[in-house]
Amino acid sequence: MLWLLLLFIIPMFAMASLSLQTGSSLEGFQQTFRFANFTDAISANAEFVFRSLRNGAIVTVVALLLAYPVAYWIAFYGGRFKTVFLFVLLLPFFISFVIRTVAWSFILSDDGIVLGTLKSIGLLPDSYHVLGTTVAVIAGITYNLVPFTILPLYVSLEQIDPRLVEAAKDLYASRWQAFRKVVFPLSLPGVFAAVLLTSIPAIGDYVNAAVLGGFAPGTSMVGNVIQTEFLRNRDYPEGAALAFVLMALMVVGAVIYARLLGTERITEG
Amino acid sequence: MNHKQVPPVDHAWMRGALRRRMSRRDLFRYAGAGAGALSLSSILAACGVQGEGGTASGPTGGEEGSTQWWADRKADGPGDLVNFTNWPAYIDRDLSIDGPGSRPTLFAFTEETGIDVTYRADINSNEEFYAAIRPALESGQDTGHDIIVITNGQELTELIQLGFLIELDPELRPNFDAYCGQTFRDPAYDPGNRYTMAWQSGMTGIAYNTKFVDEQITSLEDMLNPKYAGHVGMLNNTNDAQTLAMIELGVNPETSTPDDWQLAADFLQRFNDTGVLRAWTDQAYLTGIENEDLWVTMAWSGDILNDKLYFPEYASFEFVIPDAGAAVWVDNGCIPNSAANPVGAMMVMDWYFQPQIAAMLTEWNAYVSPVPAGADIVQADAEAATGDDKVVLETIATHPAVFPTPEIESKLYNYRVLGGDEIEAWNDLFNPIFIS
């Protein structure tokens, strides 16, 4: 409880208080309960909020499509090497994700090992580039988050009794029907968790957008705007207000999502 | 002292040795990102931000920076370590040596005084560096830096006005008194050099890689050429792009009005709208042009000249002062409050005002030195040198961006000095352009 107070409630309160202040870095900030900070933050940054939501949605869908077969394969065919596969999956986490992302920026640089080679053999025009595009940002976020998508899927798939699949087949279900009618419904709690674990950090990302998007026009996400307000412009109230807007959006989104998919399913899962 | 090393031919090794640019910026900026975005301390500290406004009044009594305080510090003597934090590509390197000797001017300081210097090239942006140390300054803690180097502009002014810098001791800078050039004494942003001593000065112009760019680039307008789409870099800070835009539009930035700013903002917005721009960037532009991600970019004079002269793989770089003119600025050494070793910090800063040391620095970094007497030494060294050395040194000794001719000087403009009531209008106008 003290933990929660110290690490969650106090910082949240401080941010809430900050988001209603006015002033400047030079003259200091005073508490004026200026709720217009919120409307200002929304109206000035709607574009970035929408872009983040869009990127988050794309990342979640792509990550699910990539993760499901991997999780399925490990759960049903991993055999005694399951732990090894899971360990390999988590191996990249032994390196800071900022460094991994920066490494990608080197790999994908215009004259780097990939594009440089393709350009020198004439497969790509000289001016082609991946960095500084939305594709690079989305790919980077997906790369960083896909293990978080795989793990909950794996957990729910692993719990499925293989005899249920056999029973389905005994009842003349094809492999596809067995998957659609038995396996997939039973893995839904995992899908539910995977969507939350992927989409929330994806929407809030700013590292991939900064490193791989490089502040190219049209690539910055709302996280970059918040970061810029705090760590560059020193406009703390606007940054705090925008952070709250983003948080509120995600909480509301998650609640609606939980209602629609049904939380009882999770607790049963 | 052997300070004119020709770089060894092994480029890969050199790149490795000098990969200052790799991830430092990113680490610095995103440190702690994984742990939960914005640091708690900065937020909490920001919660109680109380600026002082007005101008700083001098320290009194035994306060930090007062005569009494300095007397006590001097009685304690300089510590055995100075933490010196500067911008990348700014200090002389001897590429044939590994270890402390690889920075000859600093090494000479340590040899002479016995004081070690931990040198970090961690500043990539005035705005971000200041925002990063501000919480520590706000709460009266040591930032971990004894010397920081900040460009004249909003951030330096704020550091001075909020009393975040230690007032310097006039007695601890004999070389500054003897050799500092007139231009760098008593600057408008720091009357009497109470808080700062110039490190180097330089110009903001345009750099391009002739491997990809056939035309002569002489203006920002030239950078908007669709041929370079996706490979154009522009500097994102409180002054550079704004100032160059105004110069190009025929406005003297120093006397510009809010209407002029609007014109400059409209001009800069074209970089977003036309799709040519790769990035609004800070010091990272240098990595960008080195990686060939950027073909043409706004740049700082010495960064590009140093790359071009000392690294064969960057020989195709050009730095140009636009036809309409360039921005000129001064980077200033200063001591943040609660610094652990203020006496040592002053000794290091003063060390660089010796003409011989200043010349060694110029011969490497190709920036404008605040020590005019160093120029003669650079000339003499250029005449005495032979082979590749001679080419490099002669280029530096005659380059208008290192030793500006009167003709060039007439095209150099200072940043606009913003009044307290103008800062917000300026930032509100320009900041949104840099993120889109």
pLDDT tens profile B290-336: 999 999 999 999 999 999 999 999 999 999 999 999 999 999 999 99
- Subunit contact A18:B43, Cβ cutoff 8 A: yes
On whether the CB atoms of residues B162 and B51 are closer than 8 A, the answer is yes
Range of A205's domain?
37-76+100-268
CB contact under 8 A, B291 and A226: no
In a domain, A31, yes or no: no
ipTM field: 0.87
pLDDT, position B99:
82
Fold that domain B203-328+409-434 belongs to in CATH: D-Maltodextrin-Binding Protein; domain 2 (3.40.190)
Domain count, chain A: 1
Residues 6 or more apart in contact with residue B392 via CB below 8 angstroms? B6, B309, B310, B385
Please indicate, yes or no, if residue A15 is contained in any of the structural domains: no
Instruction: Flag residues of chain B having pLDDT under 50.
Output: 1-48, 52-55
Residue A95 lies in a domain: no
| The CA-based dihedral angle spanning residues A98, A99, A105, A106, taken in that order and rounded to the nearest 10 degrees | 170
**What pLDDT, in 10s, does the model give residues A67-99?**
999 999 999 999 899 999 999 999 998 999 999
| B435:A220 CB<8 A | yes
Instruction: Report pLDDT digits (tens) over A165-201.
Output: 999 999 998 999 999 999 999 999 999 999 999 999 9
Q: Does some domain include residue A130?
A: yes
**pLDDT at residue B59, rounded to an integer:** 75
* Band of pLDDT at residue A262, cut at 50, 70 and 90: low
Enclosing H/E stretch for B148: strand B147-151
Provide the CATH number for the domain around residue A219.
Answer: 1.10.3720.10
A201–B contact, CB cutoff 8 A: no
- Residue B58's pLDDT is 64
SS3 content of chain B, % helix, strand, coil (to 5): 45, 15, 40
d(CA A227, CA B25): 15
A32 in any annotated domain: no
Q: Is A102 on the interface with B (CB under 8 A)?
A: yes
3-state SS string over A30-92? EECCCCHHHHHHHHHHHHHHHHHHHHHHHHHHHHHHHHHHHHHHHHHHCHHHHHHHHHHHHHH
**Cβ within 8 Å, pair A111-B291:** yes
pLDDT band at A264 (very low <50, low <70, confident <90, very high): low
In a domain, A60, yes or no: yes
The whole-number pLDDT of residue A110 equals 92
Task: Write out chain B residues lying below 8 Å of A131, CB-based.
Answer: 293
Does the beta carbon of A40 lie under 8 angstroms from any beta carbon of chain B?
Answer: no
Per the listing, tokens 């005449």 go with B383
Q: Does the beta carbon of A226 lie under 8 angstroms from any beta carbon of chain B?
A: yes
Within-domain flag for A173: yes
Q: Residue B131: which of A129, A220, A232 has the nearest Cβ?
A: A232
Q: Are B293 and A132 in contact (CB < 8 Å)?
A: yes
pTM of this prediction exceeds 0.90: no
Q: What is the structure's pLDDT at A265? A: 54
Closest-approach residue (CA) in chain A for B291:
A111
Residue B277, beta-bridge partner list? B232
Considering the domain boundaries, does residue A263 fall inside one? yes
Q: How far apart are CA A43 and CA A38, in angstroms?
A: 9
Q: Name B331's bridge partners.
A: B151, B200
Neighboring chain A residues of B291 at a CB cutoff of 8 Å = 106, 109-112
Q: How far is A14 from chain B (nearest CA, A)?
A: 6
Q: How confident is the model at residue A3 (pLDDT cuts 50, 70, 90)?
A: confident
Q: Cα–Cα–Cα angle for B158, B155, B324, nearest 5°?
A: 130
Q: Is there a contact between B278 and A214 if contact means CB atoms under 8 Å apart?
A: yes
If 0-12 CB within 10 Å is exposed, 13-18 middle and 19+ buried, where does residue A77 land?
Answer: exposed
The pLDDT tens digits of the residues spanning A127-151 come to: 899 999 999 999 999 999 999 999 9
The tens digit of pLDDT for each residue in A222-235 reads 999 999 999 999 99
Put simply, whether A210 touches B (Cβ < 8 Å) is: yes
Instruction: Give pLDDT tens digits for A23-45.
Output: 999 889 999 999 999 999 999 99
Pairwise CB contact (< 8 Å): B134 & A15 = no
Residue B268 to residue B247: CA distance in whole angstroms: 12
